[in-house]
Amino acid sequence: MLYRTAGQFKTSYRTDQALFPIRQDAFLLGVILICAWVVFPLTASEFTFQTLLTPILIYSLAALGLNILTGFAGQLSLGTGAFMGVGAYACYKMVTLMPWLNPVVAILLSGVFSAGVGVMFGIPSLRIKGFYLAIATLAAQFFLVWLFEKWAWLYNYNASGAIQVPNLDIFGLYVSGPQASSITQYYLVLTIVSLLTYLAINLTRGNLGRTWKATRDMDIAAELIGINLMRSKLTAFAVSSYIVGVAGALFVFMWRGAAEPNLFDIPLSFRVLFIAIIGGLGSILGNYLGAILIVGLPVVLNTVPRALGIEVESALLEHLNIMIVGSLIIFFLIIEPHGLNALWRLIREKLIIWPFPH
């Protein structure tokens, strides 16, 4: 009953194409937004901000970027970590070379650099497909991380080879560096993530989105009905890398505070890929669900035994953690290969016909 869509008629194509044509969905979104903007910030502790809220948002954004490329345009990428790195280093160079630059502008601009690099490594996708394409993104992954290590100019010739986020302020309010408070950073991240998500939703449901999906589903047919594959793939690489780059800049500036090249190595790429896949390729909502699961799970697993008063050795706990995360990935893939988003859709379909089984 709660999820009855019958009776919600649309009288124009315009309303039919509205963002949330179904009333219940719009309502649900409202609740989520209120939680994110009001309830969480009021109730969260420093620990929650640092280990859950902020990282979940940033990882969701990175996964969203990846999802555009892999989920919507069908180009497998294993180099997300490195593209995040490009965003982070670009942002770092910009704020240190031009200290007067507004940090938010710097973060949004840093995506442009990763978009450029993304397009460059996307060019092979015109010839190379499927898993073979993974090689191009892996080449980007390893080459870029190597470059972050070797190109001393990037980290301002620091002795340690790592970058340290300076204290930056907007009108006297610190937004990055050790002086910034978690809640400021959280709001900033939330704003940028909401904005980019809105733009991404529009892109994926419009003409460009259809072009990408066509390329993904059957590229030969797409080309034969008039899609310029080169443009389609390269715009996907550009848009995706832009978002991933911004996520990278946020990752370092709004959360980590410092970064060594190694941070952007392949485990990060895999992490983001997990989120995108567990959440559901080709969906927007899935990225958030996936991030909640993948980021939240280890934190919860670490907290639960302690909360229950069970003494588990921390190394053993960590091993168990890895095992559980591995098993859960398999488990979720088995119950719904198309991710949490599809699971949610299935629940919705069941709700619509409820109480009938089919």
Partner 1 sequence: MEMRNITLRFGGVEAIKDISFDIREGEIRAIIGPNGAGKSSMLNVISGFYHPQEGEVWYKGAPRPSMKPYEVARMGVGRTFQNIALFEGMTVLDNVMTGRLTHMKASLWEQAIWWGKAEREEVQNREQVEKIIDFLEIQAIRKTPVGRLPYGLKKRVELARALAAEPSLLLLDEPMAGMNVEEKEDMSRFILDVNDEFGTTIALIEHDMGVVMDLSDRVVVMDYGKKIGDGTPGEVRSNQDVIEAYLGVPHE
Partner 2 sequence: MLNKIFVAPFAEMVEAPDFLMQVLWEGLVSGVLYSLIALGFVLIYRSSRIFNFAQGIMVVFAALTLVGLHEMGVPAWISVVLTLGVMFGLAVTVERVVLRPLVGQPDIILFMATIGITLFLIGFGEIIFGGENKQMITEELGIPTGDFVLEPFGGLLILQHIDITAVVVAVLLVTALLLFLNKTRMGRAIRALGDDHQAALSVGISLQTVWVLVWFIAGIIALVTGIAWGSRAGVSFALEVIAYKALPVLMLGGLESITGAIIGGLMIGMLEKMFEIYWGGPLLGGNTESWFAYVLALIVLLFRPQGLFGEKIIERV
Partner 3 sequence: MLDAAPAESSDLLLEVNNIEVIYNHVILVLKGVSLSVPRGGVTALLGGNGAGKTTTLKAISNLLHSERGEVTKGSIRYRGEVVQDLDPAKLVKRGVIQVMEGRHCFEHLTVEENLLTGAYTRGDGKGAIDADLEMVYSYFPRLKERRRSQAGYTSGGEQQMCAIGRALMSRPETILLDEPSMGLAPQLVEQIFEIVKSVNEGEGVSFLLAEQNTNVALRYAHYGYILESGRVVMDGPAAELRENPDVKEFYLGVGDEGRKSFRDVRSYRRRKRWLS
Which positions lie near partner 3, rule CB under 8 A? 346, 349-350, 353, 358
Residue 206 CB, nearest approach to partner 2 (Å) = 25
Binding mask 252-291 for partner 1 (x = CB under 8 A): ------------------------------x---------
The SS3 call for residue 164 is strand
Least Å distance, CB 203 to partner 1, is 5
Residue 209 and residue 232: Cα distance in Å, rounded? 9
In the complex, the smallest distance separating the C-beta of residue 308 from partner 2, rounded to whole angstroms, is 20
To 10 degrees, what angle do helices 207-217 and 182-205 make? 80
Q: Counting every residue, how long is the chain?
A: 358
E-assigned strand segments in 21-157: none
Give me the least distance between CB of 287 and partner 3, in Å please. Answer: 23
Distance CA 229, CA 345 (A): 30
**In the range 187-226, which residues lie near partner 1 by CB under 8 A?**
199-200, 202-203, 206-208, 210-211, 213-214, 216-218, 220-226
SS3 label, residue 116: helix
Burial of 290 (0-12, 13-18, 19+ CB in 10 A): buried
Instruction: Give burial (CB, 10 Å; 0-12/13-18/19+) of 53.
Output: buried
Partner whose binding site includes residue 350, from partner 2, partner 1, partner 3, none (CB under 5 to 8 Å by kind): partner 3
Quick check: 45 binds partner 1 (CB under 8 A)?
A: no
Contacts of 218 (CB under 8 A, 6+ apart): none
3-state secondary structure of 181: coil
Window of 11-19, 94-102, 120-128, 200-208 that interacts with partner 2 by CB under 8 A: 120-128
Give the three-state DSSP class for 199: helix
State which of positions 122-141 bind partner 2 (CB under 8 A): 124, 127-132, 134-136, 138-139, 141
Among 58, 154, 227, 272, binds partner 1 (CB under 8 A): 227
CB of 15 to partner 1, least distance (A): 10
CB of 346 to partner 3, least distance (A): 7
| Binder of residue 149, out of partner 3, partner 1, partner 2, none (CB less than 5 to 8 A by kind) | partner 2
Residue 298 CB-half CA count within 13 A: 18
235 scored as a contact of partner 1 (CB under 8 A): yes
CB-based burial label for 130 (10 Å; 0-12, 13-18, 19+): exposed
Instruction: List contacts with partner 2 (CB under 8 A).
Output: 70, 76, 124, 127-132, 134-136, 138-139, 141-143, 145-146, 149-150, 220-221, 224, 266, 270, 273-274, 277, 281, 315-316, 318-330, 333-334, 337
